[in-house]
Structure 1
Amino acid sequence: MPVVDRLVVLLPGFEHMPIEAHYRRFVREAEKTAPVYDMQLTEAAPLKVSLPDAAAPTGEFSLRSTGRDWSARTDFVLYGLGDITMFYASRHPVVRLLSGIIALLDFTVTGTFFRFVVTSWRYSLFFLYPLVLVGIVVAASFGVGSLAATFGLGGPIAPLALALVSAAILLLFAIRKMHLLLIMDDWTFARDTARGKRPDVMRKLDNVIADAVARIGEAPAKTEIVVAAHSLGAICALQLLDAALLRNSSRRYGLLTVGSSLLKVALHPAARRLRKSVERVANSNTTWIDVQSLTDPINFYKSDPVRNLKIAGGKSPVLVRVRFRSQLCDDAYKAIRRNFFRVHRQFVFGVEKRTPYSWHVILCGPEPFADIAARGGLACDHPVSASSATLKVSGPAIT
């Protein structure tokens, strides 16, 4: 019976979530997905969280999956990058808003926005989204003040007061319902990463990379190594693999990037270090799968990071394009399709129908990562319904 032994380094995206929440989501969505691929899942080791002073919180857990004539054990190392994102969220709302606007102006003045348009025009709409929100707030509040002044309501002070109250109400709505400050934090972090600002934050990322490289170096030679990243986690993933290759270039690594925001930073002129990391990975024997979706406005759909960054001689990743509509039942898809943040997170959520892509099956299933890449995705010749297979998750994994 084939037995797979795998070490997965998990790097989440820009979400204000503690490491325990990431863990619970991973196991919950694995529980949803496993029956669809005729898998059974048990917990081999519960979550153990360490809180190093210099790095982000780190979680370790293991899952064992089995099926007909195969078994696989996957040891996970999950880095709580939410500790870094919470730094940005803890600032004063005015500072968060203004720093985000400065970041957006930086990406415009340097020409990065126009590179977004050329590379993946849909992503440029995500760039414009917060600017449009701010523009609507300014225009609407100015309009309210102008109407009050036109009709002479309350003398000279009332129009200004009404404009300010309108702006405050609209901003509160944009923050609570439209994720305005989260987006501003996201762009501020992207600018800081490109320019190497915020030494304390960059130091934490460097410590995450150093810790992960040390763990990879300690893994037995027969253990499959996969670095898996969602969204902005791809930036850390490329730098991590760059460091791993400098330490041991003979070992074959796997890289899985889903809903990647790598080009968001790498296309900035100041991001030379990141582009150098992409170049080293692209010119190594690393197996790289990049998963994209048309439905998601926050990923660079139809992009090729190696080609778009003009890396000479580099090997492009295996591009897997997924339609979330094909993975979910109609009601489930309709429930998320108008929430673009939830759509963006679907890359790391469970599925209800078998397709060539599943975050959890790639990381927990029986197929070697290189075989999945060679095929261009998971085997899905014999689809099964969620009710035709069983799943068992034991211990605290279900909490």
Structure 2
Amino acid sequence: MEPVKRRVVIHFPGFERMDAQAHHRRFKRSAQRSAEVWGFSTAIDPLSEAAGVPHFAAVCEAQGWRTASTIYLCDHNGLVEKFSDKPIFQRILAGFASFGSVIVQGGLAAYFRHAWRFGLFFLFPFLLMSIGLAGSLAVAALPLWLGFPPWHYLWSLPLAWAFYRYVLLPFSERYLTLHLFADWELAASAARIDGPDLTRWLERQCNTMIEALEEPADEYVISSHSMGSTLAAHVLGMVLERKPDAIAGKRVVFITLGGAILQCALLKLASRLRQRVGAIARAPEVSFLEVQCLTDVIHFYRSAVVSLCGHHDAPQAELMFIRVKHLLAPERYRRIKRDFLRVHRQYVLHADVRGSFDFTLLTTGPFPADLTTDYSKRDFGGFADALLFEKTKL
């Protein structure tokens, strides 16, 4: 099999407060570390934002292969900031409103039915904030409980405020509670496809994807991480609706890394998203691959995302299973294994040892991206001896 010589990558990051420049710096650091681990050379060009589309070039090579890639970054930092920069009380109220919306739309029941750990992830920030707010109210109501005269509220109310400001908020920030509140706001909005900011963002990324697909390449990879998978499904679905010939005769690979499409697709109002997932699965030019990890709670492990979106008769996504523990040095894994958000980010970070998965190789290496490959068993010095395909189909 010939190596991929030219690739176009359209990447949708997860829900993080990182703009395109920050994602470019992360990619460059990870690529340099991956090159050291695997023994190839890499060159990452500076980020260009010509025409408002952040992108950069990457070249990786070793004996027997050279792969040049153009990576487009469809970051949604503007949307993250929209939800995260509101006053704290508004963020709390909006977060609980999205919590109620998810429950009313059947999300909570569906999460526990198909991925109980994701259900716990959904409940966690809201339970933590509810307990903290209840504690603040309990402190404020101490005079009433103790039968003290009303003037005692002069000390109980400031004490309650101090507990909220200097205990609850710092403790909740340790677990990124308000950040997760904002994530669920976007999830509810992406299910409904409401809000002018989200609509405009989707339109821009649709145009970006159409332009990127016009570039000559051996392979077109649409990669996505976490919440970015829902946004990527929307955008690719829009391309298929508006210009299906954009992928005609091309090899297109749609990859979700710890994908959370079902975070939104399981909500009753997400009918458009479910339709688009079906269109992606049925497109003969598109290979649909999900990369999953057992110890990552923020996705739907072993889920049949296409079937759960109502398309039982459509081709199902290929599954690739990885183990974070097997990709990291023991001391590094010990540091992160109890931080579920950090484990969730590992899909797009460098590994410490040669293993079955590497984001840099997936997006800029010589192997076709739609094939699950155990790189660790081969020598990257010669491409002809490096391929070992292990496909796992649900």
Same fold (TM over 0.5): yes
Query: Could you tell me which residue of structure 2 aligns to residue 133 of structure 1?
Result: 128
How many aligned positions are there? 372
Query: Could you tell me which residue of structure 2 aligns to residue 302 of structure 1?
Result: 302
Give the aligned residue type for 2:378: H
Q: Does 1:276 align with 2:271?
A: no
Q: Does 1:327 align with 2:337?
A: no
Map Cα deviations across residues 102-133 of structure 1 (whole Å, 9 max, x no partner).
00111111211110111111000111011111
Once the 2 structures are TM-superposed, how far is the Cα of residue 157 of structure 1 from its aligned partner? 3.5
Query: Could you tell me which residue of structure 2 aligns to residue 42 of structure 1?
Result: 43
Partners of 2:105 and 2:269 within 8 A in 1: no
Alpha-carbon RMSD across the aligned residues, in angstroms, is 2.1
Which aligned pairs between 1:86-105 and structure 2 lie closer than 5 A? 86-105=81-100
Structure 1, unaligned stretches of length 5 or more? 53-57, 385-399
Cα gap change, 1:377 to 1:289, in 2 (>3 Å): farther
More displaced 10-residue stretch of structure 1: 171-180 or 330-339: 171-180
Q: Does 1:32 align with 2:33?
A: yes
Map Cα deviations across residues 65-90 of structure 1 (whole Å, 9 max, x no partner).
11221111111111231122111122
Of 108, 123, 148 in structure 2, the residue corresponding to residue 113 of structure 1 is 108
Partners of 2:92 and 2:181 within 8 A in 1: yes
Q: Does 1:72 align with 2:59?
A: no
Give the aligned residue type for 2:332: A
Query: Does the residue aligned with 2:46 lie in a helix, a strand or coil?
Result: strand
Partners of 1:209 and 1:236 within 8 A in 2: no
Once the 2 structures are TM-superposed, how far is the Cα of residue 224 of structure 1 from its aligned partner? 0.9
**Structure 1-normalised TM-score?**
0.87
Query: Could you tell me which residue of structure 1 aligns to residue 164 of structure 2?
Result: 167
Partners of 2:118 and 2:300 within 8 A in 1: yes
Q: Does 1:210 align with 2:207?
A: yes
Query: For the residues of structure 2 that align with 1:369 and 1:193, how far apart are their CA atoms?
Result: 27
**Structure 2-normalised TM-score?**
0.88
Query: Does the residue aligned with 1:257 lie in a helix, a strand or coil?
Result: strand
Partners of 1:296 and 1:344 within 8 A in 2: yes
Query: Does the residue aligned with 1:296 lie in a helix, a strand or coil?
Result: coil
Cα gap change, 1:292 to 1:2, in 2 (>3 Å): closer
Which aligned pairs between 1:119-158 and structure 2 lie closer than 5 A? 119-145=114-140, 149-150=145-146, 152=148, 155-158=152-155
Query: Does the residue aligned with 1:316 lie in a helix, a strand or coil?
Result: coil
Query: Does the residue aligned with 2:68 lie in a helix, a strand or coil?
Result: strand
Give the aligned residue type for 2:335: A
Once the 2 structures are TM-superposed, how far is the Cα of residue 2 of structure 1 from its aligned partner? 4.5
Partners of 1:133 and 1:174 within 8 A in 2: no
Give the aligned residue type for 2:215: A
Which aligned pairs between 1:220-299 and structure 2 lie closer than 5 A? 220=216, 222-245=217-240, 246-248=243-245, 249-250=247-248, 251-285=250-284, 286-299=286-299
Of 54, 79, 82 in structure 2, the residue corresponding to residue 84 of structure 1 is 79
Query: For the residues of structure 2 that align with 1:42 and 1:320, how far apart are their CA atoms?
Result: 28
Query: For the residues of structure 2 that align with 1:196 and 1:239, how far apart are their CA atoms?
Result: 9
Cα gap change, 1:214 to 1:3, in 2 (>3 Å): closer
Give the aligned residue type for 1:136: I
Cα gap change, 1:146 to 1:97, in 2 (>3 Å): closer
Query: For the residues of structure 2 that align with 1:171 and 1:204, how far apart are their CA atoms?
Result: 34
Partners of 2:258 and 2:298 within 8 A in 1: yes
Partners of 1:265 and 1:271 within 8 A in 2: yes
More displaced 10-residue stretch of structure 1: 130-139 or 158-167: 158-167
Partners of 1:213 and 1:240 within 8 A in 2: no
- Higher RCO structure (Cα 8 Å, ≥6 apart): 1
Query: For the residues of structure 2 that align with 1:160 and 1:3, how far apart are their CA atoms?
Result: 65
Partners of 1:107 and 1:113 within 8 A in 2: yes
Cα gap change, 1:155 to 1:236, in 2 (>3 Å): closer
Once the 2 structures are TM-superposed, how far is the Cα of residue 156 of structure 1 from its aligned partner? 4.0
Partners of 1:40 and 1:67 within 8 A in 2: yes
Q: Does 1:382 align with 2:381?
A: no
Give the aligned residue type for 1:64: V
Partners of 2:234 and 2:276 within 8 A in 1: yes
Map Cα deviations across residues 279-322 of structure 1 (whole Å, 9 max, x no partner).
00111121111111122221122212112223132111111121
Query: For the residues of structure 2 that align with 1:3 and 1:279, how far apart are their CA atoms?
Result: 28
Give the aligned residue type for 1:238: A
Cα gap change, 1:261 to 1:288, in 2 (>3 Å): same
Query: Could you tell me which residue of structure 1 aligns to residue 5 of structure 2?
Result: 4
Once the 2 structures are TM-superposed, how far is the Cα of residue 363 of structure 1 from its aligned partner? 0.8
Give the aligned residue type for 2:20: I
